[in-house]
Chains A and B, each alone.
Chain A
Amino acid sequence: MSNNHETNTPVSLRGLSADDPHLQPAARKPARVEKVISISFVFAIIFGVLFIAAFVQNWQPYILGGSLAGSLLLLGIGLVAWGKYLMPRGPFVEDRHEFRSSDEDRAAFAAAIIQRGGGVVKRRKVITGLFAGGMGVFSLGALFPLLRSLGPLPKGTLFHTDWRKDAYAVDITGRRVLVSDLAIGSIITVYPEGKQDSENGQAVDQTVLIRISNQDFTTMKGRESWGPQGLLAYSKLCTHLGCPVGLYEQQMQLLVCPCHQSMFNVNNGAVPQFGPAPRPLPQLPIYIDADGYIRAQSDYHEPVGPGFWERS
Protein backbone atom coordinates (compact mmCIF):
# COMPACT_ATOMS: atom_id res chain seq x y z
CA MET A 1 0.00 0.00 0.00
CA SER A 2 2.59 2.50 1.08
CA ASN A 3 4.78 1.62 -1.87
CA ASN A 4 1.81 2.22 -4.15
CA HIS A 5 1.17 5.52 -2.45
CA GLU A 6 4.76 6.56 -2.89
CA THR A 7 4.92 5.74 -6.58
CA ASN A 8 1.58 7.47 -7.15
CA THR A 9 2.83 10.70 -5.63
CA PRO A 10 3.79 13.13 -8.38
CA VAL A 11 7.47 14.07 -8.54
CA SER A 12 9.38 16.71 -10.43
CA LEU A 13 11.12 15.53 -13.57
CA ARG A 14 14.32 17.33 -12.63
CA GLY A 15 16.92 15.58 -10.60
CA LEU A 16 15.32 12.14 -10.75
CA SER A 17 17.67 9.17 -10.61
CA ALA A 18 17.50 6.89 -13.62
CA ASP A 19 16.11 3.98 -11.61
CA ASP A 20 13.33 6.01 -10.03
CA PRO A 21 10.04 4.06 -10.23
CA HIS A 22 8.42 7.08 -11.92
CA LEU A 23 10.69 6.58 -14.92
CA GLN A 24 9.81 2.91 -15.32
CA PRO A 25 7.27 1.77 -17.95
CA ALA A 26 3.67 1.77 -16.81
CA ALA A 27 3.05 -1.74 -18.13
CA ARG A 28 3.50 -4.69 -15.82
CA LYS A 29 4.77 -6.87 -18.68
CA PRO A 30 6.53 -4.48 -21.08
CA ALA A 31 7.77 -7.28 -23.34
CA ARG A 32 4.25 -8.45 -24.07
CA VAL A 33 3.04 -4.92 -24.76
CA GLU A 34 5.95 -4.42 -27.11
CA LYS A 35 4.93 -7.54 -29.00
CA VAL A 36 1.38 -6.25 -29.40
CA ILE A 37 2.63 -2.87 -30.58
CA SER A 38 4.95 -4.55 -33.11
CA ILE A 39 2.05 -6.54 -34.52
CA SER A 40 0.04 -3.37 -34.79
CA PHE A 41 2.84 -1.63 -36.69
CA VAL A 42 3.36 -4.63 -38.98
CA PHE A 43 -0.30 -4.55 -39.97
CA ALA A 44 -0.06 -0.78 -40.40
CA ILE A 45 2.75 -1.37 -42.90
CA ILE A 46 0.68 -4.00 -44.72
CA PHE A 47 -2.27 -1.59 -44.93
CA GLY A 48 0.10 1.12 -46.12
CA VAL A 49 1.28 -1.11 -48.96
CA LEU A 50 -2.34 -1.94 -49.77
CA PHE A 51 -3.08 1.79 -49.88
CA ILE A 52 -0.30 2.37 -52.39
CA ALA A 53 -1.50 -0.59 -54.45
CA ALA A 54 -5.09 0.69 -54.35
CA PHE A 55 -3.93 4.08 -55.51
CA VAL A 56 -1.77 2.76 -58.32
CA GLN A 57 -4.42 0.32 -59.50
CA ASN A 58 -7.22 2.89 -59.02
CA TRP A 59 -9.35 0.50 -56.98
CA GLN A 60 -12.68 1.37 -55.42
CA PRO A 61 -12.71 4.32 -52.97
CA TYR A 62 -13.64 2.06 -50.07
CA ILE A 63 -10.49 -0.04 -50.54
CA LEU A 64 -8.41 3.10 -50.83
CA GLY A 65 -10.01 4.68 -47.78
CA GLY A 66 -10.19 1.46 -45.83
CA SER A 67 -6.50 0.78 -46.21
CA LEU A 68 -5.66 4.38 -45.38
CA ALA A 69 -7.86 4.18 -42.29
CA GLY A 70 -6.35 0.85 -41.24
CA SER A 71 -2.83 2.11 -41.66
CA LEU A 72 -3.42 5.39 -39.79
CA LEU A 73 -5.46 3.80 -37.02
CA LEU A 74 -2.94 1.04 -36.34
CA LEU A 75 -0.01 3.44 -36.41
CA GLY A 76 -1.86 5.74 -34.04
CA ILE A 77 -2.97 3.01 -31.68
CA GLY A 78 0.55 1.55 -31.57
CA LEU A 79 2.11 4.92 -30.90
CA VAL A 80 -0.36 5.78 -28.16
CA ALA A 81 0.19 2.38 -26.55
CA TRP A 82 3.93 2.95 -26.72
CA GLY A 83 3.56 6.30 -24.98
CA LYS A 84 1.03 5.03 -22.51
CA TYR A 85 2.56 1.71 -21.46
CA LEU A 86 6.27 1.75 -22.33
CA MET A 87 7.31 5.28 -21.51
CA PRO A 88 7.98 6.77 -18.05
CA ARG A 89 4.85 6.21 -16.02
CA GLY A 90 5.00 9.34 -13.86
CA PRO A 91 3.05 11.10 -12.57
CA PHE A 92 5.24 14.14 -12.75
CA VAL A 93 4.61 17.57 -11.41
CA GLU A 94 5.77 21.05 -12.25
CA ASP A 95 5.13 24.28 -10.43
CA ARG A 96 2.99 27.06 -11.74
CA HIS A 97 4.38 30.52 -11.60
CA GLU A 98 2.23 33.43 -10.70
CA PHE A 99 1.52 35.66 -13.70
CA ARG A 100 1.35 38.73 -11.53
CA SER A 101 4.46 40.88 -11.86
CA SER A 102 5.97 42.61 -8.87
CA ASP A 103 4.41 45.86 -7.69
CA GLU A 104 7.43 47.84 -8.88
CA ASP A 105 7.22 46.38 -12.37
CA ARG A 106 3.51 47.09 -12.58
CA ALA A 107 3.99 50.65 -11.43
CA ALA A 108 6.84 51.19 -13.86
CA PHE A 109 4.83 49.75 -16.76
CA ALA A 110 1.83 51.92 -16.02
CA ALA A 111 4.03 54.92 -15.54
CA ALA A 112 5.72 54.34 -18.87
CA ILE A 113 2.39 54.38 -20.66
CA ILE A 114 0.62 57.11 -18.72
CA GLN A 115 3.46 59.51 -18.07
CA ARG A 116 5.69 59.09 -21.07
CA GLY A 117 2.95 58.40 -23.60
CA GLY A 118 0.24 60.51 -22.01
CA GLY A 119 2.57 63.44 -21.70
CA VAL A 120 3.36 63.36 -25.36
CA VAL A 121 -0.31 63.22 -26.34
CA LYS A 122 -1.58 65.75 -23.81
CA ARG A 123 0.96 68.37 -24.71
CA ARG A 124 0.17 68.02 -28.43
CA LYS A 125 -3.60 67.97 -28.41
CA VAL A 126 -4.04 69.61 -31.79
CA ILE A 127 -1.89 67.27 -33.81
CA THR A 128 -3.19 64.25 -31.85
CA GLY A 129 -6.71 65.22 -32.83
CA LEU A 130 -5.72 65.87 -36.40
CA PHE A 131 -3.93 62.54 -36.66
CA ALA A 132 -6.94 60.67 -35.25
CA GLY A 133 -9.20 62.57 -37.62
CA GLY A 134 -6.97 61.79 -40.57
CA MET A 135 -6.91 58.10 -39.79
CA GLY A 136 -10.67 58.11 -39.31
CA VAL A 137 -11.33 59.82 -42.62
CA PHE A 138 -8.91 57.46 -44.34
CA SER A 139 -10.58 54.38 -42.84
CA LEU A 140 -14.03 55.55 -43.87
CA GLY A 141 -12.71 56.50 -47.26
CA ALA A 142 -11.07 53.12 -47.68
CA LEU A 143 -14.13 51.26 -46.46
CA PHE A 144 -16.60 52.95 -48.76
CA PRO A 145 -15.05 52.17 -52.17
CA LEU A 146 -14.16 48.71 -50.92
CA LEU A 147 -17.77 47.92 -50.12
CA ARG A 148 -19.22 49.95 -52.93
CA SER A 149 -17.15 48.28 -55.62
CA LEU A 150 -18.34 44.85 -54.53
CA GLY A 151 -21.58 45.13 -56.42
CA PRO A 152 -24.27 47.39 -57.82
CA LEU A 153 -26.87 49.21 -55.76
CA PRO A 154 -30.22 47.48 -55.61
CA LYS A 155 -32.08 50.54 -56.93
CA GLY A 156 -35.49 49.29 -58.08
CA THR A 157 -34.49 45.78 -59.12
CA LEU A 158 -36.14 44.12 -56.14
CA PHE A 159 -39.49 45.65 -57.06
CA HIS A 160 -39.80 44.33 -60.61
CA THR A 161 -39.61 41.13 -62.56
CA ASP A 162 -39.24 40.58 -66.29
CA TRP A 163 -42.95 39.92 -66.73
CA ARG A 164 -44.43 42.54 -69.05
CA LYS A 165 -47.80 43.15 -70.59
CA ASP A 166 -48.50 40.46 -73.22
CA ALA A 167 -45.39 38.41 -72.36
CA TYR A 168 -45.87 34.77 -73.30
CA ALA A 169 -45.53 32.20 -70.55
CA VAL A 170 -42.99 29.58 -71.64
CA ASP A 171 -41.74 26.45 -69.92
CA ILE A 172 -38.08 25.69 -69.14
CA THR A 173 -37.47 24.58 -72.72
CA GLY A 174 -38.83 27.85 -74.10
CA ARG A 175 -42.07 26.36 -75.46
CA ARG A 176 -45.10 28.64 -75.19
CA VAL A 177 -47.70 27.16 -72.88
CA LEU A 178 -51.21 26.57 -74.28
CA VAL A 179 -54.25 26.57 -72.08
CA SER A 180 -55.08 23.10 -73.36
CA ASP A 181 -51.71 21.79 -72.12
CA LEU A 182 -52.90 21.88 -68.57
CA ALA A 183 -55.50 19.49 -67.27
CA ILE A 184 -57.14 20.22 -63.95
CA GLY A 185 -54.68 19.47 -61.18
CA SER A 186 -51.64 20.28 -63.32
CA ILE A 187 -48.73 22.44 -62.36
CA ILE A 188 -45.97 23.87 -64.51
CA THR A 189 -43.17 26.36 -63.89
CA VAL A 190 -43.24 29.18 -66.43
CA TYR A 191 -41.04 32.12 -67.29
CA PRO A 192 -41.56 35.19 -69.44
CA GLU A 193 -40.55 34.30 -72.99
CA GLY A 194 -36.83 34.76 -73.60
CA LYS A 195 -35.90 34.73 -69.93
CA GLN A 196 -36.14 31.00 -69.23
CA ASP A 197 -32.40 30.50 -69.57
CA SER A 198 -31.25 33.66 -67.79
CA GLU A 199 -30.10 33.83 -64.18
CA ASN A 200 -32.68 36.47 -63.36
CA GLY A 201 -35.40 34.60 -65.19
CA GLN A 202 -34.76 31.50 -63.16
CA ALA A 203 -34.29 33.27 -59.85
CA VAL A 204 -36.84 36.09 -59.95
CA ASP A 205 -39.38 35.55 -62.74
CA GLN A 206 -40.16 31.92 -61.97
CA THR A 207 -43.89 31.47 -61.70
CA VAL A 208 -46.04 28.44 -61.05
CA LEU A 209 -49.05 27.99 -63.28
CA ILE A 210 -51.71 25.70 -61.85
CA ARG A 211 -55.14 24.81 -63.07
CA ILE A 212 -57.84 24.30 -60.50
CA SER A 213 -60.98 24.26 -62.64
CA ASN A 214 -62.37 24.84 -66.12
CA GLN A 215 -64.24 27.99 -65.18
CA ASP A 216 -62.80 31.44 -64.66
CA PHE A 217 -61.66 31.60 -61.07
CA THR A 218 -61.44 34.64 -58.81
CA THR A 219 -59.06 34.27 -55.91
CA MET A 220 -60.00 37.54 -54.27
CA LYS A 221 -61.81 40.77 -54.89
CA GLY A 222 -60.18 42.85 -57.59
CA ARG A 223 -58.68 39.81 -59.32
CA GLU A 224 -61.78 38.85 -61.32
CA SER A 225 -59.90 38.55 -64.61
CA TRP A 226 -56.71 37.01 -63.24
CA GLY A 227 -57.73 33.36 -63.30
CA PRO A 228 -59.08 32.61 -66.80
CA GLN A 229 -60.44 29.07 -67.18
CA GLY A 230 -59.26 28.18 -63.70
CA LEU A 231 -55.61 28.93 -64.42
CA LEU A 232 -53.77 30.63 -61.56
CA ALA A 233 -50.24 31.99 -61.78
CA TYR A 234 -48.34 32.62 -58.57
CA SER A 235 -44.77 33.72 -57.97
CA LYS A 236 -42.69 30.62 -57.23
CA LEU A 237 -40.57 32.52 -54.68
CA CYS A 238 -41.58 31.84 -51.11
CA THR A 239 -42.26 35.07 -49.23
CA HIS A 240 -40.34 33.65 -46.27
CA LEU A 241 -36.82 33.01 -47.61
CA GLY A 242 -37.22 32.78 -51.35
CA CYS A 243 -37.14 29.02 -51.85
CA PRO A 244 -39.08 27.85 -54.92
CA VAL A 245 -42.58 26.86 -53.84
CA GLY A 246 -42.67 23.85 -56.12
CA LEU A 247 -44.69 21.51 -53.96
CA TYR A 248 -48.33 21.48 -55.07
CA GLU A 249 -50.90 19.39 -53.27
CA GLN A 250 -53.62 19.04 -55.80
CA GLN A 251 -56.52 17.96 -53.57
CA MET A 252 -55.64 20.11 -50.57
CA GLN A 253 -55.24 23.04 -52.98
CA LEU A 254 -52.02 23.96 -51.22
CA LEU A 255 -48.69 25.21 -52.44
CA VAL A 256 -46.08 24.18 -49.90
CA CYS A 257 -42.54 25.50 -49.57
CA PRO A 258 -40.18 22.52 -49.27
CA CYS A 259 -37.66 24.50 -47.20
CA HIS A 260 -39.65 25.55 -44.15
CA GLN A 261 -43.09 24.14 -44.89
CA SER A 262 -45.06 27.33 -45.31
CA MET A 263 -48.44 26.41 -46.79
CA PHE A 264 -50.30 28.68 -49.18
CA ASN A 265 -53.94 28.19 -50.10
CA VAL A 266 -54.23 28.64 -53.86
CA ASN A 267 -58.01 29.20 -53.71
CA ASN A 268 -57.92 32.50 -51.85
CA GLY A 269 -54.87 34.19 -53.33
CA ALA A 270 -52.15 32.02 -51.77
CA VAL A 271 -52.67 33.36 -48.26
CA PRO A 272 -50.28 31.48 -45.97
CA GLN A 273 -52.33 29.20 -43.75
CA PHE A 274 -49.46 27.54 -41.90
CA GLY A 275 -45.75 27.99 -41.31
CA PRO A 276 -43.42 30.96 -41.12
CA ALA A 277 -44.23 32.77 -44.38
CA PRO A 278 -45.60 36.23 -43.59
CA ARG A 279 -47.30 37.21 -46.87
CA PRO A 280 -49.33 35.59 -49.65
CA LEU A 281 -47.51 34.62 -52.82
CA PRO A 282 -48.00 37.43 -55.33
CA GLN A 283 -50.40 36.46 -58.10
CA LEU A 284 -49.57 37.22 -61.72
CA PRO A 285 -52.51 38.52 -63.78
CA ILE A 286 -52.75 36.42 -66.93
CA TYR A 287 -55.04 36.07 -69.90
CA ILE A 288 -55.54 33.57 -72.69
CA ASP A 289 -55.06 34.98 -76.16
CA ALA A 290 -57.01 34.07 -79.26
CA ASP A 291 -54.63 31.20 -80.10
CA GLY A 292 -54.95 29.69 -76.63
CA TYR A 293 -51.56 30.85 -75.38
CA ILE A 294 -51.17 32.02 -71.82
CA ARG A 295 -49.85 35.56 -71.52
CA ALA A 296 -49.29 38.10 -68.77
CA GLN A 297 -51.57 41.08 -68.32
CA SER A 298 -48.76 42.98 -66.61
CA ASP A 299 -45.91 42.57 -64.19
CA TYR A 300 -46.62 41.45 -60.63
CA HIS A 301 -48.41 44.16 -58.67
CA GLU A 302 -46.05 43.81 -55.68
CA PRO A 303 -42.42 42.76 -55.11
CA VAL A 304 -41.89 38.99 -55.21
CA GLY A 305 -39.90 36.95 -52.72
CA PRO A 306 -38.83 37.58 -49.15
CA GLY A 307 -39.25 40.82 -47.24
CA PHE A 308 -36.70 43.64 -47.26
CA TRP A 309 -36.50 47.06 -45.70
CA GLU A 310 -37.50 49.16 -48.70
CA ARG A 311 -40.59 47.05 -49.38
CA SER A 312 -43.69 48.91 -48.25
Chain B
Amino acid sequence: MIGSFFKRAALLTILGVASAGPLVLFAQGADAAKQPYQTGRIDSGTPNSTTVVKDSKGAVVSYGNSSITYNAPPTSLIGLGRALYMQNCASCHGTEANGVPATGSSGSYPALVGLGPATVDFWITSGRMPAADPRAVQAMRHVQKLTDSQALAISSWVNSLAPSYPYIPTPNLATANVSNGAALFALNCAACHTIEGDGDALASNTYAPSLRNIPAVQVVEAIRTGPANMPRFTGNLSDSQVNDIVKYVTTEIQHPNNPGGLGLGGLGPVAEGFIGLALGVGGLALFGFWVGERDE
Protein backbone atom coordinates (compact mmCIF):
# COMPACT_ATOMS: atom_id res chain seq x y z
CA MET B 1 0.00 0.00 0.00
CA ILE B 2 2.70 2.46 0.90
CA GLY B 3 5.45 1.47 -1.46
CA SER B 4 7.84 -1.39 -1.00
CA PHE B 5 9.45 -1.98 2.35
CA PHE B 6 12.93 -1.59 0.94
CA LYS B 7 12.13 1.77 -0.57
CA ARG B 8 10.88 2.99 2.77
CA ALA B 9 13.95 1.62 4.51
CA ALA B 10 16.22 3.28 1.99
CA LEU B 11 14.38 6.56 2.41
CA LEU B 12 14.69 6.38 6.16
CA THR B 13 18.40 5.67 5.90
CA ILE B 14 18.87 8.61 3.60
CA LEU B 15 16.88 10.80 5.96
CA GLY B 16 19.08 9.70 8.84
CA VAL B 17 22.24 10.35 6.91
CA ALA B 18 20.86 13.68 5.73
CA SER B 19 21.30 15.24 9.15
CA ALA B 20 25.05 14.58 9.09
CA GLY B 21 25.09 14.73 5.32
CA PRO B 22 25.61 18.43 4.66
CA LEU B 23 29.13 18.31 6.04
CA VAL B 24 30.11 15.38 3.86
CA LEU B 25 28.43 16.98 0.88
CA PHE B 26 30.18 20.23 1.58
CA ALA B 27 33.44 18.36 1.18
CA GLN B 28 32.17 16.88 -2.06
CA GLY B 29 31.23 20.31 -3.27
CA ALA B 30 34.70 21.51 -2.49
CA ASP B 31 36.15 18.71 -4.60
CA ALA B 32 33.85 19.64 -7.41
CA ALA B 33 34.92 23.22 -7.18
CA LYS B 34 38.56 22.19 -7.64
CA GLN B 35 37.84 20.92 -11.11
CA PRO B 36 39.04 23.19 -13.86
CA TYR B 37 36.72 25.88 -15.03
CA GLN B 38 35.80 24.73 -18.45
CA THR B 39 33.61 25.71 -21.33
CA GLY B 40 34.26 25.62 -25.00
CA ARG B 41 31.90 28.44 -25.65
CA ILE B 42 32.94 31.88 -26.75
CA ASP B 43 31.36 34.73 -24.83
CA SER B 44 30.84 32.79 -21.63
CA GLY B 45 33.28 34.33 -19.23
CA THR B 46 36.45 32.58 -20.30
CA PRO B 47 39.47 33.80 -22.23
CA ASN B 48 37.85 32.39 -25.37
CA SER B 49 36.19 35.78 -25.41
CA THR B 50 36.50 38.18 -28.27
CA THR B 51 38.99 40.52 -26.61
CA VAL B 52 41.99 39.17 -24.74
CA VAL B 53 44.73 41.44 -23.39
CA LYS B 54 48.04 39.87 -22.42
CA ASP B 55 51.04 41.36 -20.67
CA SER B 56 54.63 41.19 -21.87
CA LYS B 57 55.12 37.70 -20.34
CA GLY B 58 52.09 36.33 -22.15
CA ALA B 59 49.85 36.11 -19.06
CA VAL B 60 46.21 37.12 -19.57
CA VAL B 61 45.53 40.47 -17.92
CA SER B 62 41.98 40.96 -19.02
CA TYR B 63 39.43 39.48 -21.39
CA GLY B 64 35.84 40.04 -22.26
CA ASN B 65 33.58 41.85 -24.65
CA SER B 66 31.16 44.71 -24.84
CA SER B 67 28.98 43.13 -22.13
CA ILE B 68 31.40 42.13 -19.39
CA THR B 69 35.13 42.70 -18.99
CA TYR B 70 37.09 40.43 -16.69
CA ASN B 71 40.26 41.87 -15.16
CA ALA B 72 43.02 40.10 -13.32
CA PRO B 73 43.69 41.56 -9.86
CA PRO B 74 46.75 43.83 -10.02
CA THR B 75 49.98 41.94 -9.37
CA SER B 76 51.27 44.87 -7.35
CA LEU B 77 48.95 43.84 -4.52
CA ILE B 78 50.33 40.32 -4.14
CA GLY B 79 52.52 41.17 -1.15
CA LEU B 80 49.74 42.91 0.74
CA GLY B 81 47.37 40.11 -0.18
CA ARG B 82 49.67 37.46 1.29
CA ALA B 83 49.88 39.33 4.59
CA LEU B 84 46.09 39.81 4.75
CA TYR B 85 45.54 36.18 3.82
CA MET B 86 47.79 34.94 6.63
CA GLN B 87 45.92 37.14 9.11
CA ASN B 88 42.37 36.41 8.07
CA CYS B 89 42.13 33.22 6.06
CA ALA B 90 45.06 30.91 6.70
CA SER B 91 43.70 29.47 9.96
CA CYS B 92 40.98 27.66 8.03
CA HIS B 93 42.05 27.42 4.41
CA GLY B 94 45.70 26.64 5.19
CA THR B 95 48.84 28.67 4.54
CA GLU B 96 49.04 27.40 0.96
CA ALA B 97 45.36 28.13 0.31
CA ASN B 98 44.87 24.50 -0.58
CA GLY B 99 42.26 23.70 2.02
CA VAL B 100 42.13 21.59 5.16
CA PRO B 101 40.55 18.17 5.07
CA ALA B 102 37.75 17.17 7.43
CA THR B 103 38.86 16.32 10.95
CA GLY B 104 36.51 15.63 13.79
CA SER B 105 33.21 17.34 13.43
CA SER B 106 34.31 20.62 11.96
CA GLY B 107 34.04 19.54 8.35
CA SER B 108 36.51 20.58 5.74
CA TYR B 109 37.69 23.93 4.46
CA PRO B 110 37.91 24.11 0.70
CA ALA B 111 41.01 24.87 -1.28
CA LEU B 112 41.05 28.31 -2.84
CA VAL B 113 43.71 27.79 -5.47
CA GLY B 114 42.32 27.29 -8.92
CA LEU B 115 38.96 28.83 -8.19
CA GLY B 116 39.70 32.12 -9.88
CA PRO B 117 39.94 35.62 -8.37
CA ALA B 118 36.19 36.21 -8.83
CA THR B 119 35.41 33.46 -6.29
CA VAL B 120 37.71 34.88 -3.62
CA ASP B 121 36.50 38.40 -4.31
CA PHE B 122 32.84 37.36 -4.05
CA TRP B 123 33.16 35.58 -0.73
CA ILE B 124 35.09 38.44 0.88
CA THR B 125 33.20 41.44 -0.54
CA SER B 126 29.83 39.88 0.32
CA GLY B 127 30.98 39.72 3.96
CA ARG B 128 30.68 35.92 4.10
CA MET B 129 34.41 35.54 4.64
CA PRO B 130 36.20 35.66 7.03
CA ALA B 131 33.38 33.48 8.37
CA ALA B 132 31.49 34.53 11.47
CA ASP B 133 30.97 30.89 12.36
CA PRO B 134 33.29 28.64 10.37
CA ARG B 135 31.24 25.57 11.33
CA ALA B 136 27.93 26.88 10.00
CA VAL B 137 26.37 24.86 7.20
CA GLN B 138 26.15 28.02 5.14
CA ALA B 139 28.05 31.29 5.57
CA MET B 140 25.54 34.10 5.43
CA ARG B 141 25.86 37.50 3.85
CA HIS B 142 27.22 39.93 6.42
CA VAL B 143 28.66 43.37 6.89
CA GLN B 144 31.92 43.44 5.00
CA LYS B 145 34.90 42.69 7.27
CA LEU B 146 37.61 43.42 4.71
CA THR B 147 37.43 46.28 2.27
CA ASP B 148 37.06 45.88 -1.48
CA SER B 149 40.74 46.64 -2.05
CA GLN B 150 41.79 44.18 0.64
CA ALA B 151 39.64 41.55 -1.07
CA LEU B 152 41.33 42.42 -4.34
CA ALA B 153 44.73 42.01 -2.70
CA ILE B 154 43.90 38.58 -1.28
CA SER B 155 42.49 37.35 -4.58
CA SER B 156 45.60 38.68 -6.24
CA TRP B 157 47.85 36.60 -3.97
CA VAL B 158 45.70 33.45 -4.27
CA ASN B 159 45.72 33.85 -8.05
CA SER B 160 49.49 34.21 -8.06
CA LEU B 161 49.77 30.68 -6.59
CA ALA B 162 47.98 29.11 -9.57
CA PRO B 163 46.53 31.50 -12.16
CA SER B 164 42.95 30.60 -13.04
CA TYR B 165 39.61 32.02 -14.23
CA PRO B 166 37.21 33.74 -13.94
CA TYR B 167 38.79 37.10 -13.28
CA ILE B 168 36.99 39.90 -11.54
CA PRO B 169 34.15 41.05 -13.78
CA THR B 170 32.96 44.52 -14.67
CA PRO B 171 29.50 44.43 -16.26
CA ASN B 172 28.61 47.09 -18.79
CA LEU B 173 25.00 47.70 -17.83
CA ALA B 174 24.51 50.42 -20.44
CA THR B 175 24.39 47.79 -23.18
CA ALA B 176 22.10 45.42 -21.29
CA ASN B 177 18.52 44.54 -22.23
CA VAL B 178 16.36 44.51 -19.12
CA SER B 179 13.47 42.70 -20.78
CA ASN B 180 15.68 39.81 -21.87
CA GLY B 181 17.09 39.78 -18.34
CA ALA B 182 13.62 39.44 -16.86
CA ALA B 183 12.89 36.38 -19.00
CA LEU B 184 16.23 34.77 -18.18
CA PHE B 185 15.76 35.52 -14.50
CA ALA B 186 12.41 33.72 -14.49
CA LEU B 187 13.92 30.65 -16.13
CA ASN B 188 17.25 30.44 -14.31
CA CYS B 189 17.07 32.31 -11.01
CA ALA B 190 13.50 32.48 -9.73
CA ALA B 191 13.38 28.81 -8.74
CA CYS B 192 15.61 29.59 -5.74
CA HIS B 193 15.68 33.36 -5.28
CA THR B 194 11.92 33.75 -5.98
CA ILE B 195 10.57 35.81 -8.83
CA GLU B 196 10.75 38.96 -6.70
CA GLY B 197 14.33 38.23 -5.64
CA ASP B 198 13.67 37.82 -1.94
CA GLY B 199 15.30 34.45 -1.50
CA ASP B 200 13.92 31.63 0.61
CA ALA B 201 14.82 28.63 2.73
CA LEU B 202 16.26 25.59 0.96
CA ALA B 203 16.92 22.09 2.29
CA SER B 204 18.34 21.56 5.79
CA ASN B 205 19.43 24.99 6.96
CA THR B 206 20.55 26.31 3.62
CA TYR B 207 19.15 29.49 2.15
CA ALA B 208 18.93 31.26 -1.15
CA PRO B 209 19.86 34.82 -0.18
CA SER B 210 17.81 37.89 -1.00
CA LEU B 211 19.01 39.81 -4.04
CA ARG B 212 17.64 43.14 -2.90
CA ASN B 213 20.97 44.73 -2.01
CA ILE B 214 23.64 42.89 -4.00
CA PRO B 215 26.05 45.00 -6.08
CA ALA B 216 26.22 44.24 -9.79
CA VAL B 217 29.77 42.85 -9.65
CA GLN B 218 28.81 40.31 -7.01
CA VAL B 219 25.82 39.18 -9.07
CA VAL B 220 28.12 38.41 -12.00
CA GLU B 221 30.63 36.70 -9.71
CA ALA B 222 27.91 34.53 -8.16
CA ILE B 223 26.51 33.50 -11.54
CA ARG B 224 29.94 32.69 -12.94
CA THR B 225 31.42 30.90 -9.92
CA GLY B 226 28.40 29.25 -8.25
CA PRO B 227 29.17 29.93 -4.59
CA ALA B 228 28.19 27.23 -2.08
CA ASN B 229 24.93 25.57 -3.13
CA MET B 230 24.25 27.88 -6.03
CA PRO B 231 24.74 26.17 -9.37
CA ARG B 232 27.39 27.63 -11.62
CA PHE B 233 26.40 29.16 -14.92
CA THR B 234 29.19 29.03 -17.45
CA GLY B 235 28.57 27.98 -21.01
CA ASN B 236 24.84 27.92 -20.43
CA LEU B 237 24.70 31.71 -20.15
CA SER B 238 26.62 34.07 -22.41
CA ASP B 239 28.20 37.25 -21.12
CA SER B 240 25.51 39.36 -22.71
CA GLN B 241 22.82 37.18 -21.08
CA VAL B 242 24.51 37.52 -17.70
CA ASN B 243 24.74 41.25 -18.26
CA ASP B 244 20.98 41.35 -19.00
CA ILE B 245 20.22 39.44 -15.80
CA VAL B 246 22.43 41.76 -13.76
CA LYS B 247 20.66 44.77 -15.21
CA TYR B 248 17.29 43.29 -14.30
CA VAL B 249 18.45 42.43 -10.78
CA THR B 250 20.02 45.79 -10.07
CA THR B 251 17.09 47.77 -11.45
CA GLU B 252 13.72 46.03 -11.27
CA ILE B 253 14.47 43.60 -8.45
CA GLN B 254 16.30 46.09 -6.28
CA HIS B 255 14.11 49.07 -7.12
CA PRO B 256 10.82 47.47 -8.07
CA ASN B 257 8.12 49.42 -9.78
CA ASN B 258 5.26 49.32 -7.26
CA PRO B 259 2.59 51.52 -8.82
CA GLY B 260 -0.09 49.73 -6.82
CA GLY B 261 1.01 50.96 -3.42
CA LEU B 262 3.16 49.30 -0.77
CA GLY B 263 5.07 46.32 -2.11
CA LEU B 264 4.18 44.20 0.95
CA GLY B 265 7.71 42.86 1.26
CA GLY B 266 7.37 40.67 -1.79
CA LEU B 267 6.07 37.86 0.41
CA GLY B 268 3.20 37.44 -1.99
CA PRO B 269 -0.07 35.79 -0.98
CA VAL B 270 1.08 35.19 2.60
CA ALA B 271 1.38 38.90 3.28
CA GLU B 272 -1.62 39.69 1.11
CA GLY B 273 -3.80 37.21 2.97
CA PHE B 274 -2.64 38.62 6.27
CA ILE B 275 -3.44 42.19 5.23
CA GLY B 276 -6.74 41.17 3.65
CA LEU B 277 -7.85 39.38 6.80
CA ALA B 278 -6.44 41.74 9.42
CA LEU B 279 -7.10 45.12 7.80
CA GLY B 280 -9.90 44.14 5.44
CA VAL B 281 -12.10 41.74 7.38
CA GLY B 282 -10.82 42.88 10.80
CA GLY B 283 -11.23 46.57 9.99
CA LEU B 284 -14.69 46.04 8.55
CA ALA B 285 -15.69 43.95 11.59
CA LEU B 286 -14.68 46.93 13.75
CA PHE B 287 -16.87 49.18 11.62
CA GLY B 288 -19.63 46.60 11.99
CA PHE B 289 -19.06 46.65 15.74
CA TRP B 290 -19.89 50.35 15.60
CA VAL B 291 -22.77 50.01 13.14
CA GLY B 292 -24.51 47.27 15.10
CA GLU B 293 -25.68 47.13 18.68
CA ARG B 294 -23.76 45.38 21.39
CA ASP B 295 -25.73 45.91 24.58
CA GLU B 296 -26.42 42.29 25.44
Contact = CB atoms under 8 A, between A and B. Distances in A.
* Chain A directly contacts chain B within the complex, with at least one CB pair under 8 Å: yes
Interface of A: 60-62, 65, 80, 84, 171-172, 177-178, 180-189, 210, 212-214, 244, 246-254, 256, 258, 261, 263, 265, 271-274, 278, 292
Given A180-B39, A247-B202, A274-B15, 17 more contacts: A61-B261, A171-B236, A178-B41, A180-B235, A181-B236, A183-B234, A213-B35, A244-B191, A247-B192, A250-B230, A251-B25, A251-B26, A252-B203, A256-B202, A258-B192, A271-B14, A273-B11
B229 A249 contact: yes
A215 to B, nearest CB: 10
A263 B39 CA distance: 29
Contacts of B256: none
B11 A181 contact: no
Interface residues of B, number: 44
Contacts of A172: 187
Nearest to A62: B261
A181 B203 contact: no
A183 B37 contact: yes
Interface of B: 3, 10-11, 14-15, 18, 21-22, 25-26, 28-29, 32-33, 35, 37-41, 44, 187, 190-192, 202-204, 206, 226, 228-236, 259-261, 290-291
A249 B203 contact: yes
A46 B176 CA distance: 47
Contacts of B44: 181
Contacts of B228: 250-251
B122 to A, nearest CB: 14
B41 A180 contact: yes
A67 to B, nearest CB: 14
Contacts of B203: 249, 252, 254, 256, 261, 263, 274
Contacts of B191: 244, 246-247, 258
A187 B234 CA distance: 9
A277 to B, nearest CB: 11
B28 A251 contact: yes
A61 B35 contact: no
Q: Which of A62, A186, A214 has most chain B Cβ within 10 Å?
A: A186
A148 B167 CA distance: 61
A177 B41 CA distance: 10
Nearest to B13: A273
